[in-house]
Structure 1
């Protein structure tokens, strides 16, 4: 929820779950007292009817700090909160550090930035030749091929901007050209190990540092290269796509064309496979696709029983096994004992406009769905 307002169905689901689980006539049942939360140390309940001192005593007995379990969350939620707070603090401290002088390696700041820029320049691949690819695929192309061409166009633009800004930055550091505001921001980001804003605008949303982002960048290039030179990957690394939801939409379109289904009456459902990694996949998806690169937050996955289970302590994220995404006609979809799980791009989930939500996955569960709603379960495409 953003600003105290419900902006999508998942916000409404959270509010409805809290209302159903914590508010209702059952809290006034005298035969079966309702405990909001109880353990060996504290008992959250409505005090019995009596004088004012009874209520004051109950209030004074409550702890000053509440644990995550009081709100239905896992204890890991507190670890995640403090971890994020520490990251924010360090980010602010890095931004406040002096931007002059030398680095920790003993070389000057300009030389340090120049070395990083040169290293990144060496790793930049050549842009994809879209004109040749369009001639290769011809006029009758599949919806997923259209997505590929759109992805390559965006990736080419990112490569071009990265190469241009790095080359200009090198010249500016040598004094050949003036240091513009854009180049100054790029140099500061490279020095701090962050992604420059001018690059970030052309790349998928991420919270990664510069080093991890470059590994992600190389992984995206490898997947695009395989897709262009060989065939569509049998297991799609979804977080390697700029707009992953467009690929899923293309899957539905392709299946509707093949089977003659009406597009507006078709949808997707998912099934978690027994394959732990992409290399374990030994079959082809005749309809739909296999998807890798998803991380489960707020819960864990039981490989043996193929269902959601509670998180182990101190494990905030768990890689989800290979997910199979299957297009189907909406009226044929009958799911039981599943939890509708939102899939987000990053651990920040989504902003006030709902941007960041990719799709909804169906995960098997033996628990009531309200349990996982209160645990804040979701899937994310990128680990921090």
Structure 2
């Protein structure tokens, strides 16, 4: 973290601040994992006693589950241990690239502990650049024709591209570029790369658009609203009520 701070301190941006905060949270998680695994190794070897925390971690690892002791320091997830470890490695890869080579052309939002903070930073940067009032600015999204992040050659003038979103309750028709009814027995589909653009509220005129909630996991959100990240604008010719009744939404993670 300190090395990255030294690199960006001369020209810190709102998204740069987000990176530093994300690295601090990520490092706390990695340190905790390393420490508990070392203690568990010693406990198994009989060098120290096995307390309740280590016992719970051992049982979780044996059953292929994410230990609660690690879950407390990690982003919300419904993943089993194996897929969670792969997710953790992918997060590390994105952070390393971001820290060493600059902000990625396409952001993997699921790799962030608090994805809302990155989207808020985008709005802040646009407001600084254009002199917009922050409380009268929002985000507009558009599904692109990009399916692979490697196809993206440059970042948009404002905002960003987002990869790794999953569409539940519907599918995206690439021919007509709008929502369509799901194929039989297919509940979840990958969404093409999403363009996110900051805009002044009074300039946002949406027609034939379903504002889909974007949740962190398939659990969606609790009674307090925790779990909702933002709303994405998806083109449609169907009545909005149809997609509401279908329970259409986007998620950052696939279980």
- TM-score interval w.r.t. the shorter chain? over 0.9
Residue 143 of structure 2 is aligned to residue 272 of structure 1: yes
How much has 1:140 moved relative to structure 2? 4.3
How much has 1:132 moved relative to structure 2? 2.3
**Offset from partner CA, 1:87-130 (integer Å, 9 cap, x none):** xxxxxxxxxxxxxxxxxxxxxxxxxxxxxxxxxxxxxxxxxxx2
How much has 1:245 moved relative to structure 2? 0.5
Query: Could you state the TM-score of these two structures normalised by the residue count of structure 1?
Result: 0.66
Equivalent of 2:3, from 108, 132, 147?
132
Structure 2 unaligned regions, length at least 5: none
Report the counterpart of residue 165 of structure 1 in structure 2: 36
CA root-mean-square deviation: 0.8
Report the counterpart of residue 89 of structure 2 in structure 1: 218
Query: Could you state the TM-score of these two structures normalised by the residue count of structure 2?
Result: 0.98
Report the counterpart of residue 122 of structure 1 in structure 2: none
Q: Give the Cα separation in 1 of the matches to 2:205 and 2:148.
A: 28
Report the counterpart of residue 176 of structure 2 in structure 1: 305
Residue 197 of structure 2 is aligned to residue 326 of structure 1: yes
Report the counterpart of residue 262 of structure 1 in structure 2: 133
Equivalent of 1:175, from 46, 65, 89?
46
The aligned runs of 1:79-118 (5 Å cut-off) are none
Residue 230 of structure 2 is aligned to residue 359 of structure 1: yes
How much has 1:351 moved relative to structure 2? 1.0
Computing the radius of gyration over CA atoms, which structure comes out larger, 1 or 2?
A: 1
Q: Give the Cα separation in 1 of the matches to 2:150 and 2:175.
A: 19
Q: Give the Cα separation in 1 of the matches to 2:166 and 2:49.
A: 44
**Offset from partner CA, 1:223-269 (integer Å, 9 cap, x none):** 00000000100000000100001000000001111111111110001
The aligned runs of 1:71-82 (5 Å cut-off) are none
Report the counterpart of residue 93 of structure 1 in structure 2: none
How much has 1:139 moved relative to structure 2? 5.3
The structure carrying a bigger strand percent of its residues is 2
Structure 1 unaligned regions, length at least 5: 1-129
The worse-fitting range, judged by mean Cα deviation, of 188-197 and 275-284 is: 275-284
Q: Give the Cα separation in 2 of the matches to 1:339 and 1:133.
A: 40
Equivalent of 1:290, from 127, 147, 161?
161
**What is the total number of aligned residue pairs between the two structures?**
255
Point out 4+ residue stretches in structure 1 off by more than 4 angstroms: none
